[in-house]
Each structure stands twice: as structure tokens, then as C-alpha cells.
Amino acid sequence: MIQADDVTGVFADTAAVREGLAAVGYLADDKIAGVVSLAARLGKPLLIEGPAGTGKTQLAKSVAMMTGRPLIRLQCYEGIDESKALYEWDYRKQLLWIQAARGDETFSADAVIETGKGIFDERFLLTRPMLEAIRSPQPAVLLVDEVDRVDTETEALFLEVLAEHQVSVPELGRMEARHVPLVFLTSNNTRDLSEALKRRCLFLYLDYPSADREREIVSRAVPGLARELVERLVGLVETLRRLNLKKPPSVSETIDLARTLHLLGATDLDVTDASLVQNVLLKYRDDVQIAEAALAPRSWSKRP
């Protein structure tokens, strides 16, 4: 595996990135590999948008694996603030320190409160993912997952890290990056991100893969599955994605169905087995009804 302090070669060009990602099990096309190479060489964050389950998060994980860098992940959610994303003070330890210091004759509580000396020390600073990535002793991969789930105010907090590679802590001043992290932001496009954030990033849209590429992904993930069955499976998934579903099957769900067929020792794809569609590929009742109506007259015993 490539060491964290020797990443120039793996990001040198599109071919090098494709080879490196393939070595850790991620099949990237030239578009994906080219943008990752450029983001790493420019030191800019990469914003990845697209439907859920198309490999956005896995791309960041795979880049971390291929370079040997630690992966630091910030999972975004509604209501997250700087105390969960950047840092917060350990108030309990601060209180214990004050109580212990009161037994010291040279201690002045008023002076500590007035000047901040002692209380606001790095000993009491709890680092969260973004500050952790900035202060990492070695180059890291920072994954800000589902950034579209946070509100615009919280999104604005991320800009300093993305643009300046630093975090400002009022009591301590600026904390600059020891090593510039390679940043990936993912979005399912549930809301529009600000122009300020997008301006600081390179952009990559990950859509569902082509049939050929998805067959290759499935064959690599489930090597024991017969080629003919892989073709029928991918054909079924493509048909479902063309329907007006609330949540079309993702690549990860295609792989789940492939693993299910392999586990069952299946030699054919029979969609009359409702569990295959309802429990593996589809997650909404309305989607199941739409799929059943569309697939009922079709036979999947032959390649579609």
C-alpha cells in the first residue's frame, strides 16, 4: 500500500488514480479518476453530488485506503453545529480544574475568569472531525458526508476550513493545518448548497453507472455469480430505474441482490419471488406496486 507521505505518484494523472482505486476495489472511470487527481494536486475540496448509493462516500473511503491516509468522517445531520463539527470545550474538566485549583493559595478564580488563563487551554479542547483533520500529524482524508443536510448557517462555518485550511478558536486564535487534508464533500442534492461553498470546491456528479460498468462492479463484488445471472440482474435494475419510483435501486442494492442470489444458490432470476424486489431492491410500498405492475408480464429467465 502507498504510504501517507508518498502520494505524489498515485495522483500524478488519471491513469494512476484509476489504477490505485482499482487496487482497493473501486472501479472508477476516467471522469472520476481525473477529477480526484486534479483535486489532490490543486489541494482543493471535491464536492460530489448524485443519487444515494452511487458510490460517493465509498470514493472517499477508497482514496484513503489507496494512499494509506487516515479517514476522518463528519456525518452531517439536521441541527449539527460547530460543537459537533469543529470543536467544543470540555466544561466538566474545566470545572474540576477550577475546584482543584481553589486549594492553591496562589490561585485567583477572579483572575482566571477575567483573563481566561488556565481554563481555555488546549488540555480542555475537544477536537471534532474538521479540527481533527486540520491538526492531524499526518495528511488525512476528511469526508464531510451529506453536507446538504446541514442548514446554511452551519454550512458557512465550514468555509474557513475549506478555503484557508484553518479553524479560528476565539480563546486560542487560529489553528492552521499541519498538513492540508484531502477533503471530500458528498451531497444527495436534497437542497441547493451555497455559491460560496461551491466556489471553493471542484465538482463531480456521480450518476448511476452504465450497464457495462455495473456488471463489472457486481462481478468484482460477487465473483461467484454466473455471468448470465449478472447480466439479467443488471437488466432488471436498469428497468426499475426507468420507472417513476420514489427511490430507484442504488448500486449498493444491486450488489445486495447479487449476494442474495449467490447465497441462495440461484441459477435464474425469478421476480415472482416477491422478496427479491420488495426486500432487497425497493424500500417503499408504492415503488413495489409500480414495479410489480411493470414486471408482471415479463420473464427474466432470459436476458432482457
pLDDT of residue 75: 95
- pLDDT over 70 percentage in the chain: 86
pLDDT of residue 1: 40
Question: Amino acid identity of 152?
Answer: T
pLDDT digits (tens, 9 = 90+) for 227-276: 999 999 999 999 999 999 999 999 999 999 999 989 888 888 876 665 67
Phi/psi at 71 (5° precision): -100, 120
Question: Which comes out higher in pLDDT, residue 105 or 140?
Answer: 140
DSSP designation for 296: T
Three cell numbers, residue 104: 492553591
Q: Is the pTM of this model over 0.75?
A: yes
Closest to 240 (Cα-Cα) out of 193, 184, 278, 192: 278
Strand positions, DSSP E, 166-285: 166-169, 173-176, 182-187, 202-205
Average pLDDT over residues 147-155: 90
pLDDT of residue 164: 85
**CB contact set of 91 (below 8 Å; sequence gap of 6+):** none
Average pLDDT over residues 183-191: 93
End-to-end CA distance of the chain: 41
pLDDT band for 81, please (50, 70, 90 cuts): confident
Question: Vertex 234, ends 303 and 286: CA angle to 5°?
Answer: 105
Count the Cβ atoms, other than its own, within 10 Å of residue 21.
Answer: 22
- Alpha-carbon distance of 65 to 90, in angstroms, equals 32
pLDDT digits (tens, 9 = 90+) for 203-236: 999 999 999 999 999 999 999 899 999 999 999 9
Rounded to a whole number of angstroms, the CA Rg of the chain reads 24
